[in-house]
Amino acid sequence: MEILVPTLLTIITAATPLLFAAIGEMVTEKSGVLNLGVEGMMLVGAVVAFATVHHTDSAFLGILAGILAGAGMSAIFGILVLGLQSSQVATGLALTIFGVGLSALWGQSLVGVAYEGLPKLSVPLLSDIPLVGPLLFNHDILVYGSFAVVLAVVWFLGHTRPGLVLRAVGDSHDAAHAIGYSVLRIRFFAILFGGAMAGIAGAYLSLAYSPLWIENMSAGRGWIALALVVFATWRPWRVLVGAYLFGGITILQLHAQAFGVGIPSQVMSMLPYLATILVLVLISRDQNKIKRNAPACIGKPFHPTA
């Protein structure tokens, strides 16, 4: 028990940023837009959140700033791909490169500055339950928020009219436009939501997971989040499972080194990315499954007509 509980807690913390980023990207892709700029949005969200907390000493303002920073980055992407009809793939890649450079520039003065981390919010009585209490009822606000976001997305996509419209736009933007829905507006709001979730994922990295600022601290998590969406076949519950699966693989390298496993640390550090590649290769072998679950219009530009 002394080993199990800390291990499971570290898996939860490792999975949380992946869950936020992946659930946001899933909603964006459900609308028919592919945004490859998740990594860049996470980094900008991380540095803005950390800088805000450093100057205001307010975790709430830091989280809010991270959300707005991610949404702001995604707004740039939305204007370019929806308003100017630029390539979604090229623009997403450019957004990541831009985010990496911008976050490094803004964070120069913050390197080496420490933060105490987000406070834990223990649920009275429930947090005292052996094993279950520490695992489920003794976390910071963002861990609780990640579960709430998944529940909200499940409800929104499956049980609301706007969610149905969003899915319709992703499956057939011409048909949605023909019956009077504003495809570009719906997609823009979906892009903003995806950016906000990437921003909060970055905020979690710099305020809770590793409460300090380091250049490129997302370390490829944005790309893993993109792979998670495909792994989950665009279903929210599977995104949750996938995030915790990849979070466990991320933590495995640390515990393997602690137990003295005779594998070079560099190889262990590669595990999450090797797992990502392996999963994508296995999934891509079943093209029919991907076609059945992927939004039909994903990545396709929409040209509104009168």
- Measured between alpha carbons, how far is 55 from 193 in angstroms, rounded to an integer? 26
State the burial class of residue 30 (Cβ atoms within 10 Å of its Cβ: 0-12, 13-18, 19+).
buried
- Mean pLDDT to the nearest integer, 83-94: 94
- Mean pLDDT to the nearest integer, 282-294: 74
User: What pLDDT digit, counting tens, does each position of 153-169 carry?
Assistant: 999 999 999 999 999 99
Output the pTM of the full model: 0.92
Q: Is the pLDDT of residue 205 over 80?
A: yes
Beta-bridge mates of residue 139: 121
State the chain's mean pLDDT as an integer: 89
Domains of the chain: 4-293 (1.10.3470)
pLDDT band at 117 (very low <50, low <70, confident <90, very high): confident
pLDDT of residue 80: 96
Q: Is the pLDDT of residue 243 over 80?
A: yes
User: What pLDDT digit, counting tens, does each position of 32-59 carry?
Assistant: 999 999 999 999 999 999 999 999 999 9
pLDDT of residue 99: 96
User: What pLDDT digit, counting tens, does each position of 118-162 carry?
Assistant: 988 888 888 778 778 888 888 999 999 999 999 999 999 999 999
More reliable by pLDDT, 87 or 306: 87
Q: Is the pLDDT of residue 259 over 80?
A: no
pLDDT of residue 97: 96
Please say whether the beta carbons of 237 and 150 come within 8 A: yes
